[in-house]
Structure 1
Amino acid sequence: MYRSHNCGELRSSHIETEITLAGWAHKTRDKGFVVWIDLRDRYGITQLVFDEERSSKALLEKARAIGREFVLQVKGTVTERSSKNPNIPTGDIEILVSELHILNEALLPPFTIEDQTDGGEDLRMKYRYLDIRRNPVKDNLIFRSMVTMEVRKYLSGQGFIEVETPYLIKSTPEGARDFVVPSRMNQGQFYALPQSPQTFKQLLMVGGMDKYFQIVKCFRDEDLRADRQPEFTQIDCEMSFVEQEDILNAFEGLTKHLLKELKGIECEDFPRITYDEALRRFGNDKPDIRFGMEFGDLNEVAKHREFGIFNDAEIVVGIAVPGGASYTRKEIDKLVDWVRRPQVGAKGMVYVKCNEDGSYKSSVDKFYDQEDLEKWAEITNANAGDLICILSGEINATRSQLSALRMELAERLGLRKAEEFAPLWVVDFPLLELDEESGNYHAMHHPFTSPKPGQLELLDTDPGAVRANAYDLVLNGNEIGGGSIRIHDKEVQATMFRHLGFSPEEANTQFGFLMDAFQYGAPPHGGIAFGLDRLVAILGGQETIRDFIAFPKNNSGRDVMIDAPATIDDAQLEELNLKLDIRSEE
């Protein structure tokens, strides 16, 4: 056998035991009369020792020839370590090696295999298999495995059945672009990779499965960021004969289970706020409620003076920054520059310092007196020593800008603590969103979302006012899950398609299979999908999902390790009846 123990399990109780270990040479230290090698595997590090008194000359010379990341097998005796290392679990012992076998030599790695490495991100992505040997990445992947195991355990215990759905499906308009796959046997036709298993899980409910889940790969051909990947993983779930309350209770239970089992945190019932309330209080629909700095609407107390910027604005809104009155003018000017960046887009910022003596000093003292500023402080819940930051303009843009400033300030003030978890439900989303360019409405979630009970009739008279029977689960300022009660009636679904601009022929071409299924007794049903990558990252104390994916793509959607995507040869193109004609410019 290659090993009797792993490199993380030997302790003082094993002293005088004959053992066999295998792993990678992490570090070597040669003091002339003694050589130490740290042997590493997934489980930990064990120190090996070779010395002139107890090791043969040939064995000592062989040890000296070992390079970093050589794959080794050793046999030897567990002995007490004279200079103990309290920083590792095996630090009380070492292995006096009697046999050393080099299973494989290794090139010098392009970066150090250490927690704090000297390798940049691009280099580590190219050699991802080496990056995985580092504890931070290895531990993230192990943590991801623990999360998925707990998800399966909980949902299976609640009676959910895991069912696999197809990866080669029909292209449907779900918002993002599809990845398409040409069919060799059906010339000129294409499969699409699923953006979600949405219609299939609804068909499973028609099929009577009642409670379904799947940990499933999904694909979206969209612009990428650090927290997005072209392929991502969902915890996809659906239930029959349920209302919104049933879904919220079931998956609040799942989230509580994960927080308890993985983080040791007992949660109270999650707060719930409406979409409109989230925008009014926090400026976005996925608020981080680990800290305050809630929005204060200043319209009523800021538009009575001759300050044109406020008077001409749709909204004047501010937040109180704890301790911000101590900021220097230079520091405040930097904040103003920050909100003026193109990524934020504000034209400027008004500020008020709430002095410790109860007085106020603002950038608009010319227009507003102390009584005015005191009212602003009351509305924004500002205390002595705080700074009030105020933006104004068009409602949606201004709220978005102030939300970005709120999150930036919270980051700078250390208020977004990774070890704290603050979940909440956001409910009552608009069913439809208006595309200002085309003047047409599109589904805010997807076209299968049911309107709130009693609001179907509003689709003909005031479609923008219709609320969806939809909900998002937010954790620490990130949407980790979203879902809805689905339409299960063919006529209602046809009405929805009509309002989304589908002709009856287009609806039948795209979704006729689902409409047909509804005629055979579709139960009321609803569900939710969690973004597993994001959920794991947040539970792991981070927000960038890439470090929790074994082989991620870069920001251009490329796998630099295997060099994909790549061209294919002419023979394959011809077999698929595809012709790629790329001409370089003269």
Structure 2
Amino acid sequence: MGEALEGLKRNIMCGELRESHIGTKFTVMGWVQRKRNLGGLLFIDLRDRTGILQVVFGEAINNEAFIKADNVKPEFCIAVTGELVHRESVNPNMPTGMVELKGESIKILSESETPPIYIKEDLDAAENIRLKYRYLDLRRPDMQNIFMIRHKTAKAIRDFLDDNGFLEVETPMLTKSTPEGARDYLVPSRNYPGMFYALPQSPQLFKQLLMVSGFDRYFQIVKCFRDEDLRANRQPEFTQVDIELSFVEQDDVIELNEKLVSHVFKSVLNKEIKTPFKRMTYKDAMDKYGSDKPDLRFGMEIKNISSDVLNCGFKVFTDAINNGGSVRAITVKSGASMGRKDIDRLGEFVKTYKAKGLAWIACKEEEIKSPIAKFLTEAEMNNIIKSSEAEVGDLILIVADKNSVVLQSLGALRLEIAKKQEILKGNDEFNFVWITEFPLLEYDEEEGRYFAAHHPFTAPMDEDISYLESEPGRVRAKAYDMVLNGEELGGGSIRIHDTALQEKMFSVLGFSNESAWERFGFLLEAFKFGPPPHGGLAFGFDRMIMFLAGTDNIKDVIAFPKNQNAFCYLTDAPNIVDEKQLNELGISINVKNKK
């Protein structure tokens, strides 16, 4: 049974004690990391969120405290009072390694069973166990450090935006479902039977309404919800840094957010980030890297070699070109020594991206080796090597197909090779780039209509507006993504603020005037009353913390995350609810296979 504090006050944290504190009496509180009994002396490593302090108990120091301390076990919660002294066996690897606390009294505040996971850094335990006992997982120093970084980041963002004239305004969590993106989480209404609220996928419409309201600089660090099949580093609920400004153009938004990110990285990591960031159009990013979020920390750019093989004897190449596709290549430096089995594995890899196969040319010192050499003239081979910027010892990898397949497969292959060859191992660079001029619309062949590539409120580039109805696929957006080391850190756009243009956009997306007003009428109505030009950007806050904390797992940066199937092992959610609750909501359950 735990002891009460009875007025005892903690007056310093374990990790804060240094040599300058020697000779002073302190009370510390925390959890027992480990205990070592050396006969007449007993040592306890006491842990709180600031670090670990060694506490020494001895028969000669206080026999009663010594006997009591001998009863503690790992993860007992205790309070210790005593004088800080020099540590006899110095530990230079600990910030508190020069000192120790002489345990003159001890209170056992609560006892602990043997924990199902070790409370230590770099824990190697099954994810479901870590999530089930998340409160223990969060006791680990490396996990607590991540949440200190999260706190510092949120504070740095708020400080910067406050200094730049922004107001933090909260927007509703219970709102209207406006399906045109991911699936909404729905919340039934007791007061309006048969009707539902939706949890917001983002505050998009409300932040635009705030611009109409005259809050010309708004931000919010806000929860968002998407009921979608989870992929790597996706969570059903996530946090977004939402920013919107009035009376701005694209360059204004980009410049402000570069300054914000630079401030955050300096405040949290003391890392200088050089601005302005590089900019690249969507078309150039796709052509060179096969991705709209290119990792620019290494080269291996995609080269278009279609003109070099336009009339060659290899039918795979010529058919791809004649059908409107292309032939493109990447060059693996010093890759000519790669074994045939490894190359075959890369061929199987690109097939997962719908490529039919992978051609290759090894530029060995003694000769050029390639299974397609017999189909090419010497001049054609030399032109391919030149266009691919290959040198002796390099390996050229080639895909021929329709452009979307070629670019996607080579873009993925580029990253796969970098991973296999550990090209980025030990690279602590932060490489930022803006991707601009995205397509405004994407065509869905199954549904036979265009969808908004970002959302329906993104403004088209002025010079492309005339193509909205005649050539929708040609229209570029005033949209921009901030990409860091091959990951989208944030994205946004300049918004449509003209009612006629917004209605035309809805028409192109297949909405009738009635359906557009049914779904988005409150926004269209607001736009009748002098909306300002406006735009903004939203950062994935969790992803930002992943970069700052140096982890590649989003679950590490969320206090109580769900697993890959959106299930919470800690609380067993989702779960069944009481029949009375369902009756109040007018809901009956019709599920064939209840889990």
Q: Which amino acid aligns with 2:225?
A: F
Deviations for 1:69-115, whole angstroms, at most 9, x for unmatched residues?
A: 00000011112111111111000111110101100001111011111
TM superposition shift of 1:369: 4.8
Q: Which residue of 2 aligns with 1:194?
A: 200
Q: Secondary structure at the match of 1:86?
A: coil
Q: Could you tell me how far apart the structure 2 residues matched to 1:550 and 1:525 are?
A: 34
CA contact (8 A) 2:313 2:376 kept: no
The answer to whether structure 1 residue 312 and structure 2 residue 323 are counterparts is: no
Q: 2:590 aligns with which of 576, 581, 584?
A: 581
Q: 1:457 to 1:302 in 2, by over 3 A?
A: same
Q: Which residue of 2 aligns with 1:433?
A: 442
Deviations for 1:471-490, whole angstroms, at most 9, x for unmatched residues?
A: 11111111111111111111
Q: Could you tell me how far apart the structure 2 residues matched to 1:127 and 1:86 are?
A: 32
Query: For structure 1, which segment, 132-141 or 45-54, has the greater mean C-alpha deviation from structure 2 after superposition?
Result: 45-54
Q: Which amino acid aligns with 2:90?
A: K
Q: Which residue of 1 aligns with 2:232?
A: 226
Q: Which residue of 2 aligns with 1:128?
A: 134
TM superposition shift of 1:521: 0.6
Q: Could you tell me how far apart the structure 2 residues matched to 1:118 and 1:208 are?
A: 52
Q: Which residue of 1 aligns with 2:299?
A: 292
The answer to whether structure 1 residue 532 and structure 2 residue 538 are counterparts is: no
Q: Could you tell me how far apart the structure 2 residues matched to 1:584 and 1:404 are?
A: 38
TM superposition shift of 1:331: 2.6
Q: 1:514 to 1:45 in 2, by over 3 A?
A: same
Q: Which residue of 1 aligns with 2:189?
A: 183
TM superposition shift of 1:355: 2.6
Q: Which residue of 2 aligns with 1:323?
A: 334
Query: For structure 1, which segment, 58-67 or 572-581, has the greater mean C-alpha deviation from structure 2 after superposition?
Result: 58-67
Q: Which amino acid aligns with 1:408?
A: E
Q: Which residue of 2 aligns with 1:41?
A: 48
Q: Which residue of 2 aligns with 1:448?
A: 457
TM superposition shift of 1:346: 3.0
Q: Which residue of 2 aligns with 1:365?
A: 373
The answer to whether structure 1 residue 391 and structure 2 residue 399 are counterparts is: yes
Q: Which residue of 1 aligns with 2:387?
A: 379
Correspondence 1:183-262 to 2 at 5 A? 183-262=189-268
CA contact (8 A) 1:78 1:95 kept: yes
Q: Which residue of 2 aligns with 1:50?
A: 57
- Unaligned ranges ≥5, structure 2: 1-7
CA contact (8 A) 1:318 1:391 kept: yes
Q: Secondary structure at the match of 2:39?
A: coil
The answer to whether structure 1 residue 336 and structure 2 residue 354 are counterparts is: no
CA contact (8 A) 1:111 1:118 kept: no
Q: Could you tell me how far apart the structure 1 residues matched to 2:385 and 2:14 are?
A: 60
TM superposition shift of 1:583: 4.2
TM superposition shift of 1:356: 4.2
TM superposition shift of 1:18: 1.1
Indicate the percent of aligned positions where both proteins have the same amino acid: 47
Q: Which amino acid aligns with 2:118?
A: T
CA contact (8 A) 1:537 1:545 kept: yes
TM superposition shift of 1:360: 2.5
Query: For structure 1, which segment, 408-417 or 15-24, has the greater mean C-alpha deviation from structure 2 after superposition?
Result: 408-417
Q: Which amino acid aligns with 2:562?
A: K
CA contact (8 A) 1:26 1:39 kept: yes
TM superposition shift of 1:370: 4.8
TM-score (norm 2): 0.95
Q: Could you tell me how far apart the structure 1 residues matched to 2:162 and 2:378 are?
A: 62
Q: Which amino acid aligns with 2:335?
A: G
Q: Could you tell me how far apart the structure 1 residues matched to 2:593 and 2:154 are?
A: 48
Q: Could you tell me how far apart the structure 2 residues matched to 1:276 and 1:543 are?
A: 28
CA contact (8 A) 2:180 2:455 kept: yes
Q: 1:162 aligns with which of 168, 175, 180?
A: 168
Query: For structure 1, which segment, 434-443 or 372-381, has the greater mean C-alpha deviation from structure 2 after superposition?
Result: 372-381
Q: Which residue of 2 aligns with 1:354?
A: 363
Correspondence 1:253-272 to 2 at 5 A? 253-263=259-269, 264-272=271-279
Q: Which residue of 1 aligns with 2:25?
A: 18
Deviations for 1:349-392, whole angstroms, at most 9, x for unmatched residues?
A: 112222346x4222322223554333223222223322211122
CA contact (8 A) 2:171 2:203 kept: yes
Q: Which residue of 2 aligns with 1:31?
A: 38
Q: Could you tell me how far apart the structure 2 residues matched to 1:248 and 1:460 are?
A: 29
Q: Could you tell me how far apart the structure 2 residues matched to 1:98 and 1:490 are?
A: 75
CA contact (8 A) 2:78 2:106 kept: yes
Deviations for 1:248-293, whole angstroms, at most 9, x for unmatched residues?
A: 1111221222233333123131111111111101101111111101
CA contact (8 A) 1:360 1:373 kept: no
Q: Which residue of 2 aligns with 1:400?
A: 408
Q: Which residue of 1 aligns with 2:581?
A: 572
Q: Which amino acid aligns with 1:14?
A: H
Q: Secondary structure at the match of 1:266?
A: coil
Q: How many matched pairs?
A: 581
Deviations for 1:34-68, whole angstroms, at most 9, x for unmatched residues?
A: 22110000000001112344331x43232221111
Q: 1:378 to 1:265 in 2, by over 3 A?
A: farther
Q: Which amino acid aligns with 1:27?
A: R
Q: Could you tell me how far apart the structure 2 residues matched to 1:494 and 1:206 are?
A: 17
Q: Could you tell me how far apart the structure 1 residues matched to 2:560 and 2:499 are?
A: 42
Q: 2:103 aligns with which of 85, 90, 97?
A: 97
Q: Secondary structure at the match of 2:469?
A: helix
Q: Which amino acid aligns with 1:86?
A: P
Q: 2:283 aligns with which of 276, 284, 298?
A: 276
Q: Which amino acid aligns with 1:141?
A: F
Q: Could you tell me how far apart the structure 1 residues matched to 2:346 and 2:40 are?
A: 61
Q: Which residue of 1 aligns with 2:309?
A: 302
Q: Which amino acid aligns with 2:211?
A: M
Q: Which residue of 2 aligns with 1:463?
A: 472
The answer to whether structure 1 residue 411 and structure 2 residue 422 are counterparts is: no
Aligned-residue CA RMSD (Å): 1.6
CA contact (8 A) 1:236 1:529 kept: yes
Deviations for 1:488-518, whole angstroms, at most 9, x for unmatched residues?
A: 1111111111111111111111111111111
TM superposition shift of 1:584: 5.3
Q: 1:584 to 1:556 in 2, by over 3 A?
A: closer
TM superposition shift of 1:418: 5.3
CA contact (8 A) 1:573 1:579 kept: yes
Q: 1:542 to 1:381 in 2, by over 3 A?
A: farther
CA contact (8 A) 1:290 1:415 kept: no
Q: 1:418 to 1:566 in 2, by over 3 A?
A: farther
Q: Could you tell me how far apart the structure 1 residues matched to 2:500 and 2:116 are?
A: 62
CA contact (8 A) 1:226 1:546 kept: no
Q: Could you tell me how far apart the structure 2 residues matched to 1:30 and 1:378 are?
A: 72
Deviations for 1:457-483, whole angstroms, at most 9, x for unmatched residues?
A: 211211111111111111111111111
The answer to whether structure 1 residue 7 and structure 2 residue 18 are counterparts is: no
Q: Could you tell me how far apart the structure 2 residues matched to 1:226 and 1:123 are?
A: 19
Q: Which amino acid aligns with 2:493?
A: S
Q: Could you tell me how far apart the structure 1 residues matched to 2:375 and 2:206 are?
A: 61
Q: Secondary structure at the match of 2:413?
A: helix
Q: Could you tell me how far apart the structure 1 residues matched to 2:554 and 2:138 are?
A: 15
TM superposition shift of 1:394: 1.8
- Unaligned ranges ≥5, structure 1: none
Q: Could you tell me how far apart the structure 1 residues matched to 2:507 and 2:440 are?
A: 14
Q: Which residue of 1 aligns with 2:5?
A: none
Q: Could you tell me how far apart the structure 1 residues matched to 2:378 and 2:110 are?
A: 77
Q: 1:356 to 1:260 in 2, by over 3 A?
A: farther
Q: Which amino acid aligns with 1:424?
A: V
Query: For structure 1, which segment, 383-392 or 460-469, has the greater mean C-alpha deviation from structure 2 after superposition?
Result: 383-392
